[in-house]
Amino acid sequence: MGNRLITKRDADPALTRRGQPVSQILLEDGSVTPRVMVGALAETTRTGEPLSRVLAAEGITTPETVLAAQAERFGALVVRRDETPPDDTLAGLLPAAFCLEHGVLPWRRIGDSLLVATSRPDAFDTLRETLPAELGPVMMAVTLEADIHDSIAASHGQALIAQAETMRPLEDSCRDLNESSLRGRLCVGLALVMVLTGFWFAPELVFAAGLALALASLVVAQGLKLAALLASRPKGPAIAPKAQLPAAPPRVSLLVPLFREQDIARTLIARLSRLTYPRSLLDVMLILEQDDTETREALRAVALPPWFRVIEVPCGTLLTKPRAMNYALRFTDAPILGIYDAEDSPAPDQIERVTAHFCRAPPTVGCLQGILDFYNPRANWLSRCFAIEYAAWFRVLLPGLAHMGLAVPLGGTTVFFRRDALLAAGGWDAHNVTEDADLGILLARRGYRTELVPTVTREEANNRFWPWVRQRSRWLKGYTITWWVHTRRPLALWRALGPRRFFGMQALFLTTILQFTLAPILWSFWLLIFGLPHPLDPWLTPGATGLLTTVFLAAEATALFVGFVAVSRSPHERLMPWVPTLFLYFPLGSLAIYKGMWEVLSRNAFYWDKTEHGHSAPDTPSAETPERLPKSGIQPD
């Protein structure tokens, strides 16, 4: 059975410490000095967190020492999973969700009584009143939260991962994409036959139709960029004020999915350890796949800070980042959830800015998106163009969409949610390979707003050709799937978003898909420059050629202008000369979208083309530390 701390005090009731504060017990034992205890109590007052959490998170004493003191305070047994594991036959007495929410677990039977272990003994008397009567007499024991979580994962892991994979309602998920009906396959086949027939009998007409669609998407896309540029013009001070801790700071859980990241694990811990948010309010969850032995071994070789923990995700029917996050979501009850990637280096005061923004914002602001930038933008030409593209996306387009009140497709990292909003959306779609963009649209459909916050996370620019194509193919494949999921019921989407946001969503997603897909039609006009015949020669009158030239030049001028403005809002002004080279960069996206579409057609839509990190070091030793006061189109806090 579990071990009760037996001391002279137990033998002599006059010396018992039952009912004494944990702080006094630890002081009497010499586990904590008076000076340090005063500081810990002050931190408890400042954060509102229990003393036990403050002591453990700050590394003042070990969780085991605090547990022993709690056992004495409540006169309870101490049970540990590695010494006296819970009785597996009791696993069904309480639902796993209830146990995770309240930090309890039925542990053993002692005669007619049920021993229930808790990691929150202060709240147990209140919880006791909510327990089912059929449990019979209940005795309290104390244990570590990690032991409860590990026990629940062992007994309910397969059920929890099945829930994680189907957490999103079917109508809001893409998981039926590979289960196309006979009618759907016939429609696709008929469309393909019609296109091939058109090419055979009237190739000029089909080519002209494709050109018209490509030009329309080009004009709409550039118009959206200009509108976003105007909407994102800074209207306040250029320098964001120093971040302040909210009066009642909330707890924040940071979800960090890792898969085969053994080369960057140590660096990741160092970067996240720079965060200045109170440790007792931070919960960093390193999420590993069960069979990822390489990353697990790498983490075991590193001394994890006490406010870090590892969550192992059981094997299931697919392997995606959103599936892992849905599973990990069950193991935290923090009101604010944030997402980081393995290579991220966030600004030290980032969590203060995020929580302060949430505390000021109305409840309808369900999500905050930070700025993403790179710490290796000058590694090569590809990383330079990638940095310019990110500057346009996070410092112009997304702020502009948010200011215009349109739905904002999220980035996959440095994105923060109110827990209630995330659950209202049904969590992440475990099958969508761009779960971030999908979730941004669904939050808008549920009535929540996404705002951007002026704080920067730097990450590693993927600057190798084929890995870049693979990463971009996943993004574009996911964009295509996301557009299909939300637009397959257009009337429902119209009612949820309203006309303006409906057309804004179509303008963003559909033009992105069409531009990369139909780009070869636009490239064909290079034939004219070299005096080669063109499929539309009979239709290319001087007037038509002049119109096409005007549209192409206007589009290129818009792209250049947005690129220059975006770079001017970033700390990478030396990339200005590289902005004109983007016309060589974006064609790579066409190769990527064809790869992604082939995966969809070959029923491999849920394949997660993983990006490997740790191949490109920061440009300078200080490059990975983000600027605290970003220049952007985002209004300062």
Tens digit of each residue's pLDDT (9 = 90 or more) over 277-301: 999 999 999 999 999 999 999 998 8
Q: What are phi and psi of 138, to 5 degrees?
A: -120, 135
Tell me if 291 is assigned to some domain: no
pLDDT of residue 9: 45
Are 17 and 9 within 8 A, CB to CB? yes
The closest of 400, 343, 326, 328 to 369, measured between CA atoms, is 400
Amino acid, res. 420: D
Tell me if 265 is assigned to some domain: no
End-to-end CA distance of the chain: 54
pLDDT band at residue 625 using 50, 70 and 90 as cut-offs = confident
Query: What CATH number does the domain containing 145 carry?
Result: 3.30.300.160
Tell me if 589 is assigned to some domain: yes
Amino acid, res. 609: D
The closest of 637, 564, 636, 635 to 232, measured between CA atoms, is 635
Q: What are the tokens at 14? A: 């006059």
Tell me if 253 is assigned to some domain: no
Q: What are the tokens at 17? A: 């410490």
The closest of 515, 573, 613 to 384, measured between CA atoms, is 573
The answer to whether residues 139 and 55 belong to one domain is yes
The answer to whether residues 136 and 215 belong to one domain is no
Tell me if 273 is assigned to some domain: no
Q: What are the tokens at 317? A: 């029917």
pLDDT band at residue 623 using 50, 70 and 90 as cut-offs = confident
The answer to whether residues 218 and 146 belong to one domain is no
Tell me if 146 is assigned to some domain: yes
The answer to whether residues 391 and 530 belong to one domain is yes
| Domain end marker among 115, 149, 165 | 165
| Domain end marker among 99, 133, 165 | 165
pLDDT band at residue 7 using 50, 70 and 90 as cut-offs = very low
| Domain end marker among 165, 188, 219 | 165
Eight-class DSSP state of 349: T
Reduced to 3 states (helix: H, G, I; strand: E, B; else coil), residue 531 is: coil
The answer to whether residues 517 and 380 belong to one domain is yes
Q: What is the mean pLDDT of the chain?
A: 89
The answer to whether residues 227 and 123 belong to one domain is no
CA pair distance 77, 70, nearest whole angstrom: 10
The answer to whether residues 539 and 475 belong to one domain is yes
The answer to whether residues 47 and 127 belong to one domain is yes
Tell me if 505 is assigned to some domain: yes
The answer to whether residues 140 and 234 belong to one domain is no
The answer to whether residues 229 and 152 belong to one domain is no
Q: How are beta strands 415-418 and 365-374 bridged, if at all? A: antiparallel
Residues for the chain: how many in total?
637
CA pair distance 453, 603, nearest whole angstrom: 38
Domain range enclosing 434: 206-239+344-637
Are 382 and 464 within 8 A, CB to CB? yes
CA pair distance 65, 61, nearest whole angstrom: 7
State whether the Cα torsion 567-572-573-574 is positive or negative: negative
The stretch 146-164 carries a mean pLDDT of: 95
The answer to whether residues 225 and 157 belong to one domain is no
The answer to whether residues 493 and 554 belong to one domain is yes
Are 534 and 527 within 8 A, CB to CB? yes
Tell me if 278 is assigned to some domain: no
Q: What are the tens digits of pLDDT across the range 41-85? A: 999 999 989 999 999 999 999 999 999 999 999 999 999 999 999
Distances (CA, A) of 32 to 60, 61, 87, 332, 508: 7, 7, 35, 28, 57
Q: How are beta strands 138-142 and 77-78 bridged, if at all? A: parallel
pTM of the model: 0.91
Task: Count up the domains in the chain and report the number.
Answer: 2
Q: Is the pLDDT of residue 379 over 60?
A: yes
pLDDT of residue 168: 94
Q: How are beta strands 252-258 and 308-313 bridged, if at all? A: unpaired
